[in-house]
Structure 1
Amino acid sequence: MLGFDEPEFLSQLASTVALRPRIEELADRLTDEGLDNLFLVGAGGTYAQMWPYERLARRTSTLPVHAVIAAELVTGGEATLGERSVAVFTSVSGTTEDSLRAIEYCKAKGVRTVGFTGYADSPVARSVDVALVSEPKAWPFDPQMLLLMGRLLARRGEFEGYEKLADELAGLPGVLLEVAKQAEPTAAAFAEAHKDTDYHFLVGGGNLWGFTYLYSMCILEEMQWLRTTRVHSAEFFHGSLELLEEDTSVLVFQGEDETRALTDRVEAFAKRISRDVTVFDTRDHALTGISPEFRSLLAPLVLDTVMGRVSKHLERVRGHSLDLRRYYRVMDY
């Protein structure tokens, strides 16, 4: 596979699910000590990656869980932050400045802070009360967040089957390796067909809305300098549909939760207008070893793996490195 280091891929994912004992110990301690609310704090992609877990709590729990933007938390404040609050941060490098400021803001209010990162000696790891460290550059943080939220909600009697899910996640590296292999020819074909496309319209819903936002902003815009529109499938018919034309590239991210019908509706309409609609559907992947009731929870991980292959092929056909930036961490702002 193009630009794919299989041993590194497997090792990094294994390091995330290997955190299970520490995550469970933390979740149990927080539950026993008592918490009034939980804040999932990020910036850019790490903010978007929190949305599925806020949504999981909204659907199943009475615990107030809020996904928040680090910089906005500091400047706007939050009246419910206090000593019975917990704030969770994620940062691949452990150096995200907005997150570091938000950690200090939370700690000043007595909030207990948790950080997931890939570097034990990073500023984020040193700043939080509890640092849970995977291998360097391990991405995404969904395995850790799913374990943390699953255990917390299970302890509250609000998540059935947690132990079964956590056991199955041990096989996640192999599961996602098969996803990557299956996605390779599709990714190559998409990139070849769209090497000169300078605008993409992305749609997703449910627990894939965060990934839709992330892929639009953090990959296509930041890493490939392409123009995009991103819209939640439930909101598609409230304005954004007017941008469709017969040659508009539409990317539909389809999962397996209760919002699937909303995304189906968008797909059907988009295909009436555009001749260039591409559907990336988690149902296309076997996910061997994952029980049917958990498949929808893994949708962000599955599509992150699929679109990771797309990204590498776009990099190839466009001659535009995914590491190239003009402004992000290049200029002062």
Structure 2
Amino acid sequence: MLNFDEQRFLRIQSGAVALQKHLEAAITSCLTAGAENIFFLGTGGAAILMQPASQLLQRRSRFPAFIDMPAELVITGSAHLTEKSIVVMPSLSGTTKESVALLGKLKEIGAKIITLVGNEETPLGKGGDHVFVNFAEDDTSCESFYLQSLFIALAIMNCRGEIENYEQVIAELSKLPELLLEVKRAYEPKAEAFATILAASDYHIVTGAGNVWPEAFYYGMCILEEMQWIRTRPVHASDFFHGTLELVEKGVSVILFKGEDELRPLAERVQNFVPNYTEKLAVLDTAEFALPGLSPEVRALVSPIVLATVLERISAHLEVMRNHPLTMRRYYKRVAY
């Protein structure tokens, strides 16, 4: 595979899986101590990656789950954010300034802080009540963060008796590192062709629904915009027909992500509409990838993880094709802002 270290990938994703029991213990401790809600408080891309777990709790659990922006909470606070709150703060660097700024306020409030970081020797690595460290880099962090947050959500549901097959689901999720590697290998011959589609336009509408919508948002904002300087319009598939459809015409590129949860029909609605008005529709569908040993329920849960692992292969080809390394920035961490 192009510019890819298989053993490094396995090590990082296996590291995320290895945190499951420890995350479960931390959640059990917090709930036993009387926690009443959970906040997922990441910044930028890390925040987006928390959305599937938050959505899972909002739709399948009665335990209140919130997702908000640290930069805003530092200023406004929240009536729901109390000493009875669990706060999950993901940051690969452990130094994200908006999250670090909120850390002190959280300690004053007395919330229980769970930090997910790539480096312990950082403000967030040292600032949590429960700190989980799994070294990763930009090309491997998505799967790791998705998995860790999913383990947190499932642990809450298990503690509350809201999931009957918890052990089976966790056992299936433990197979993901090797399964994802096989997905990458199988998709590699197609990755360059998809990258060509992305390189061919300087503007893309990127859409999806359900738990893969965050990956559509993330890929548009954090990869195509930040890392490739390609303009995008991420829009949820349920909002596509309330404005964005008017931008679809001949020559306009639409990128559609399809997952396997119950909201798949929203993506299919877009897929049925777009080819009537533009020849540039590209679809990534997780149902096309082999994941032996995973039940339909777990396949649906991991759809954003599968997309992330496939998109990494596409991005590897895209940066070479455009002679634009994914590490190149104009402003991010380069100028004052």
**TM-score scaled by structure 2?**
0.96
1:228-247 alpha-carbon deviations (Å, 9 max, x no partner)? 11110111100011111111
Letter in 2 for 1:46: A
1:47-66 alpha-carbon deviations (Å, 9 max, x no partner)? 11111111101111111101
The answer for the alignment partner of 2:94 in structure 1 is 94
Structure 2: gaps of 5 or more residues: none
Shift of 1:311: 0.9
Contact 1:196 1:318 in 2 (8 A): no
Are positions 1:142 and 2:151 aligned together? no
Are positions 1:153 and 2:157 aligned together? yes
Corresponding pairs, count: 333
For residues 290 and 15 of structure 1, do their structure 2 counterparts lie closer, same or farther at Cα, with a shift above 3 Å needed? same
Shift of 1:89: 0.6
Shift of 1:121: 1.2
Contact 1:254 1:280 in 2 (8 A): yes
Q: Runs in 1 of length 4+ with deviation above 4 angstroms?
A: none
CA distance in 2 between counterparts of 1:181 and 1:39 reads 36
CA distance in 1 between counterparts of 2:136 and 2:175 reads 20
The answer for the alignment partner of 1:9 in structure 2 is 9
CA distance in 1 between counterparts of 2:310 and 2:6 reads 14
Shift of 1:284: 0.5
Contact 2:39 2:88 in 1 (8 A): yes
CA distance in 1 between counterparts of 2:62 and 2:231 reads 39
Equivalent residue of 1:158, what SS? coil
Shift of 1:182: 1.8
The answer for the alignment partner of 2:112 in structure 1 is 112
Contact 2:260 2:303 in 1 (8 A): yes
1:230-280 alpha-carbon deviations (Å, 9 max, x no partner)? 110111100011111111111100001111001100011011111111110
Equivalent residue of 2:241, what SS? helix
Shift of 1:33: 1.2
CA distance in 2 between counterparts of 1:72 and 1:184 reads 41
**TM-score scaled by structure 1?**
0.97
Shift of 1:3: 1.1
Are positions 1:309 and 2:303 aligned together? no
1:81-105 alpha-carbon deviations (Å, 9 max, x no partner)? 1111110011111111111112222
Moved more, 276-285 or 195-204: 195-204
Shift of 1:73: 1.4
CA distance in 1 between counterparts of 2:186 and 2:266 reads 26
Contact 2:227 2:327 in 1 (8 A): yes
CA distance in 2 between counterparts of 1:72 and 1:182 reads 42
Alignment of 1:31-70 (within 5 A): 31-70=31-70
Equivalent residue of 2:41, what SS? strand
Moved more, 157-166 or 231-240: 157-166
Identity of matched residues, %: 41
The answer for the alignment partner of 1:218 in structure 2 is 222
Contact 2:83 2:109 in 1 (8 A): yes
Contact 2:204 2:233 in 1 (8 A): yes
Are positions 1:320 and 2:321 aligned together? no
Are positions 1:272 and 2:276 aligned together? yes
